[in-house]
Structure 1
């Protein structure tokens, strides 16, 4: 019997008085006993929530009952324990931070790439005139990505617009974009269209839906997710491991956060190095006075960090 569900979803839909909506929505989620992380903006919702099957069904029913969110597509995972410790609902300027805030230029409610269902994506992805484009960040595609995908050296999705010129060589191709659940592709594909790319597509429901509906064929490695699982399996057809331990170079698909909260770097690390380094990415982090206790998972509840810390990635992407 399923103990808990974890829901991944988003919906671009205008929310008036979104800040008040966020406060009310937090109370509603807590009333259902859910844990998770939801971002609310004037442009819509982006969330991952976890709870009992009954609580998750009640949540999905409530979202679908709101005429603004009837088209919301929920990806549902069965899990042994809740994927979060607390429930957070926060108001922000965007539901995925891109820096593209002019609705007259980029508005997923008006124009995006053509949505491909997983079966259609699978059928098209190996065509000669197709380029598969990963629009996720370095730490995400380092642990898993589609075979032959073009990846970008970006720390955050907000860096994506600056990489458009690097993609100019593919303007005569069909561009198939993908991300974890589909939300980043909505703005990435819209920007590509705005910049003159004509044949732009996106994987509807992202990697997660692709794994559920067509078995995840040719997705190599694991998929990074934004909860305490950190990564999930996707490929049941021809699975492989593409990532290596940041410390020793041994093949591993285990993703962790550095135990030093002032670093908190996402990186792949084998269990042996995890034990030797206390879950840290470097000796400097291992000796840091604020180092957290490493329990083997590499996941930590977020804690406030000093405002003067400048984080710089130390990961080399293969």
Structure 2
């Protein structure tokens, strides 16, 4: 029997005095002994928390008791150890960074794609009049994605609006959007509707719920998650591995964060290259003076840093040295 639970959830619901709510909610989570990461914004909540089953049940009951959050659909994973090391609850401008902050333009509480439950998604996804659209970032869909899904070349979800024109050729199709837990699809599907797409759907509960309720059929590879597990299995029907090692090209689903904190790139890296490169994605990163010690996991406690030109230029130099890294 697993000792701990990990909860994944989100909710678009207006929160008054959201910054104070975040501070109070942090103390509440700590009082239950939870660890995790929660983002609070005026538009709602986005969280992953981990703790004992009793603590997680107490948390879900308390959140559901608030009328603003009574409809939250918690995805529950049983885990051997807590999925985080600390508890963070922070106020931000959005619960998922999209750049679509004006509720007069995009408001998931008003208009969004039609929900498809996992088994409905499974039944529809292979039809000829359907396009399955992955709205996640490159590092997420590189390690796992639905069979025949359309993926976008984006480093962050905030780049999604820039890719709408590339999808225009699918306007006569039914668009089935999906992401990890559903949160990105709320805004992605709303934006597609605004841009003239007629039949837009979203996988309710995302890949995680699909794995639990539909067995994960035809999801190839693993699902990236935003905690120290990095990836999880979702397909117990026809599993396969689709990702390759960033360094040597061998098949692997093992994902790490680069040991150079100025890079922190999410990459798939086999164990042999992990040892050889000491958790770094390139020779450039191996020589960085702030390189973190490698413990074999490739997971590091995130240290908030402003976006800087060193990281941007480092990435350009690595791609220039090996243009196949992101193919």
TM over 0.5: yes
Cα 1:304–1:195 shift into 2, 3 Å: closer
Cα 1:108–1:245 shift into 2, 3 Å: same
The TM-score with structure 1 as length reference comes to 0.98
| Cα distance in structure 2, aligned partners of 1:305 and 1:104 | 31
The alpha carbon displacement at 1:2 in A equals 2.8
Which blocks of at least 5 consecutive residues in structure 1 are unaligned? none
Equivalent residue, structure 2, for 1:257: 257
| Cα distance in structure 1, aligned partners of 2:309 and 2:88 | 24
Q: Which residues in structure 2 correspond to 1:236-247 (within 5 Å)?
A: 236-247=236-247
Residue 199 (structure 2) pairs with residue 199 (structure 1): yes
Q: Which residues in structure 2 correspond to 1:24-103 (within 5 Å)?
A: 24-103=24-103
CA RMSD of aligned residues (A): 1.1
Q: Which residues in structure 2 correspond to 1:1-318 (within 5 Å)?
A: 1-305=1-305, 308-312=308-312, 313=315, 314=319, 316-318=325-327
Which blocks of at least 5 consecutive residues in structure 2 are unaligned? none
The alpha carbon displacement at 1:307 in A equals 5.8
Cα 1:152–1:316 shift into 2, 3 Å: farther
Deviation sequence 1:202-246 (CA, Å, 0-9, x none)? 000000000000100000000000000000001000000000001
Cα pair 2:46 2:96 within 8 Å, conserved: yes
**Secondary structure of residue in 2 paired with 1:169:** helix
The TM-score with structure 2 as length reference comes to 0.95
The alpha carbon displacement at 1:50 in A equals 0.3
Cα pair 2:144 2:243 within 8 Å, conserved: yes
| Cα distance in structure 2, aligned partners of 1:80 and 1:89 | 23
**Secondary structure of residue in 2 paired with 1:162:** helix
In the TM superposition, structure 1's runs of 4+ consecutive aligned residues that sit over 2 Å from their partners are 303-318
| Cα distance in structure 2, aligned partners of 1:127 and 1:63 | 38
